Amino acid sequence: MPHHKKHHGVLSHHTVHSGKGAKHTVKLDSVVKGDTHIHAASHKDAAKQISAIVRDTMMEMARRIHAHRNHTKKEQSNAFFNKLKSDLANTKPQAPQTSQSTLQEKLSRLTDVNELSKRLPNFARLSKKMQPEEEDNPQKAYEKGEKQNEENFQRKLNEIQNSRADSDFKKWVAGIGLAGVVDLRNKLFASMINEYQTAPAARAMYGSDIHAEGNGVLVPESIRQRLWTEANEETIPILKATWAAMQSSGSTSGITFTGNLARTVSNSEEGWDMIKGVAVQVGLDWALHLAGGGASDIARTAKKVITAAKPVEELSEVVIKAKALPPKVKTSVPETVEKTTQESTPIAKEGTAAKPSKVKTSVSETVEKTSKESIAKEGTTENITISPADLEKIKEKVQEAAYKAVEIVGEGKGRAYGTSVHTEFKKQILLLKEQGYPVDAEISYLGGEKVVYGRKGSIRADVIIGDIKSPIAVFDLKTGSAKLGAKQMANYKANLPSSVENNIFEMRVDN
């Protein structure tokens, strides 16, 4: 038992008495920066006691850090809701405000990878650990690791766009793009590191370094590495939970939030987890973790905020929309919904924003800065990539729409019949578009540019697949004896964007 024990918070001062009243003072600076005084029969016993004290001290330290993190999380939660409410109230379009620009500028600096790597010198070492083969070149290792991370993010973004997730969510994500996701990850990592740095006695526990970011507390590399991995893994779930919270008037609990989170499901595993209620907690936890500001920044860029709560009944339907759910789920829903579940919505939009070139002039600097700022979100089309398999599926859908149009119009012939079929076909295509298929109807082009319908010299595509700026396939519907002749084909090629010149198809339907 300790002979004398002065408590100073976690840190204790102990004196060791061992053997025949011998007294040794054992300094544990490396652990707690305090003196330890212990009564012990032998040095061995003293060592045991010291070990126990160190362990107890570390446990207490951990408990306090944990308690602090929980407390911080609650505070962050409140801040999150307050910011979100404020953001929601300010979604009305208005002229750019200085304060917002300043904030964006600040955030740009905060979240810029280059800037961050300057302030976080351990980034390179961190990547080096993860990729030992690159250990001789930390910068290269960091770049390689970061490239992989970005590729993973892009895959996730593509997965979302290819899934049956809610179309508003897809648009929102497309607007954020890869650059936004990377920013979010960086913010998340910074917020996680900050928690460790500001924990009680963090400086005593971890030491400090003038090169360390923030308050200079040097969080050990092992912890940094773990946080970095966590930040990368949790970015997309947080993104989803954030959107769901925004759609739920800032709430991160309850059936509305759960229903909205279900609208973000983009793969079968998530769909299954959602059904089991696992993902909700995970997403919620990380949404709260973002309270440092990331969520509200994204809220500011959202195209629109739907404040109306979704009816509870939608939940089951939305969850079922997850692509390729396990069989037992499929059997529990109506056949029509099941059919939709098995089909993919093959939209894939890239939101990548290349890093701007480093330039010197003032305009160039402004351009560079602007490229990091969020421009009011277009909210519609980004670069669309569609796999050949998905393209085939969409083509089938377009063909089905044509058959349906003929079926609805009924029998007929001549020009009037052709016009009726075209009109009905357009309706069917627009219905597909409303369902989220990357198709559009009645698009006119002239000289590689989208122009208004009827522009002299323009051609009009009955259906396009892909973005109207860069479609990847064009269809011309023909009925009766009409044909897509060489002259018309040449006219298409002469006016369509170059992205589509080899994918111009005649779609023939006859009753």
Size of the site for another protein (CB under 8 A): 63
Is 352 a binding residue for another protein by CB under 8 A? The answer is yes
**Positions in 141-170 near another protein (CB under 8 A):** 167
Orientation of helix 278-289 relative to helix 167-197, angle to 10°: 60
Contact region with another protein (CB under 8 A), list: 26-34, 220-228, 261-269, 435-443: 435-443
φ, ψ for residue 308, nearest 5 deg: -70, 130
Which phi and psi angles does 93 have, rounded to 5°?
-60, 140
Interacting positions 168-187 with another protein (CB under 8 A): 179
Residue 494 in the binding site for another protein (CB under 8 A): yes
Select 160 or 287, whichever has its Cβ closest to another protein.
160
The encoded tokens of residue 470 equal 């860069």
Residue that the structure tokens 């390689």 belong to? 144
Yes or no: say if 440 and 474 are a contact pair by the CB < 8 Å rule: no
Q: In angstroms, what is the minimal distance from the CB of 223 to another protein?
A: 34
CB neighbourhood size of 24 (10 A): 15
Which 76-105 positions form the footprint of another protein (CB under 8 A)? Answer: 93-96
Q: Is 433 in the site for another protein (CB under 8 A)?
A: yes
With CB under 8 A as the contact rule, the residue among 470, 488, 491, 511 that binds another protein is 470
- Distance in Å, CB of 299 to another protein, minimum: 15
Q: Which is nearer to another protein, 192 or 461 (CB)?
A: 461
d(CA 193, CA 365): 30
Residue 31 touches another protein, criterion: CB under 8 A:
no
Distance (Å, rounded) from C-alpha 174 to C-alpha 167? 10
CB of 287 to another protein, least distance (A): 25
Give the range of 133-141, 144-152, 220-228, 437-445 binding another protein by CB under 8 A: 437-445
Shortest CA distance to 60 belongs to which of 226, 216, 205?
205
CB 473 within 8 A of CB 499: no
What's the 3-state SS for 410-453?
CCCCHHHHHHHHHHHHHHHHHHHHHCCCCEEEEEEEECCEEECC
Looking at 245-253, 312-320, 356-364, 481-489, which segment touches another protein (CB under 8 A)? 356-364
Q: How far is the CB of 376 from another protein (least distance, A)?
A: 4
Strands 11-18 and 5-8: antiparallel
326 binds another protein (CB under 8 A): no
Q: Pick from 121, 200, 207, 356 the residue near another protein by CB under 8 A.
A: 356
Q: Which stretch binds another protein (CB under 8 A): 31-39, 277-285, 335-343, 446-454?
A: 446-454
Binder to another protein among 98, 99, 481, 498 (CB under 8 A)?
A: 498
How many angstroms separate the CA atoms of 378 and 380, rounded?
6
- Quote the tokens at residue 111: 């979240």
Tell me phi and psi for residue 326, to 5 degrees. Answer: -60, 150
CA 328, distance to chain mean position in Å, is 29
Token pair 């692509």: residue:
323
Rule CB under 8 A: say whether 307 interacts with another protein. no
∠ CA 236-238-242, rounded to 5° = 120
- Pick the piece of the chain touching another protein (CB under 8 A) from 66-74, 126-134, 218-226, 352-360: 352-360
- Residue 384, classified by CB atoms within 10 Å of its CB into exposed (0-12), middle (13-18) or buried (19+), is buried
Q: Is 501 in the site for another protein (CB under 8 A)?
A: yes
Contacts with another protein, 404-423, as mask; x by CB under 8 A: ---------------x--xx
Using CB under 8 A as the binding rule, whether residue 469 contacts another protein is answered as yes
Amino acid sitting at position 131: Q
For residue 446, state whether it binds another protein (rule: CB under 8 A).
Answer: yes
Out of 30, 331, 361, 481, the only residue in the binding site for another protein (CB under 8 A) is 361
Q: How many helices (H) and strands (E) does the chain have?
A: 19, 12
Considering only residues 287 to 306 of the shown chain, the ones binding another protein according to CB under 8 A are: 303-304
Stretch 371-400 residues interacting with another protein (CB under 8 A): 371, 375-383
Asked if 311 is part of the footprint of another protein (rule: CB under 8 A), the reply reads no
User: From the list 101, 332, 370, 387, which residue makes contact with another protein (rule: CB under 8 A)?
Assistant: 370
Q: Is the dihedral of CA 78, 80, 83, 87 positive or negative?
A: negative
Q: Does 278 bind another protein (CB under 8 A)?
A: no
Q: Which residue has the tokens 């369509």?
A: 496
Please answer whether residues 172 and 302 qualify as being in contact, where contact means their C-beta atoms are separated by less than 8 angstroms: yes
Place of tokens 């109807």: 441
Residue 217, phi then psi, degrees to nearest 5: -75, 130
Half-sphere exposure of 323 (CA within 13 A, CB side): 16
Which stretch in 249-257, 265-273, 326-334, 451-459 sits in contact with another protein by CB under 8 A?
451-459
* Residue that the structure tokens 């509200």 belong to: 296
Could you tell me which stretch among 25-33, 360-368, 398-406, 473-481 binds another protein (CB under 8 A)? 360-368
Number of CB atoms found within 10 A of residue 191's CB: 19
- Applying CB under 8 A, does 44 fall inside the site for another protein? no
CB of 95 to another protein, least distance (A): 8
Give the residues lining the site for another protein (CB under 8 A). Answer: 93-96, 167, 179, 303-304, 352-354, 356-357, 359-361, 363-364, 366-367, 370-371, 375-383, 419, 422-423, 426, 430, 433-434, 440-442, 446-455, 460, 467-470, 493-495, 497-499, 501
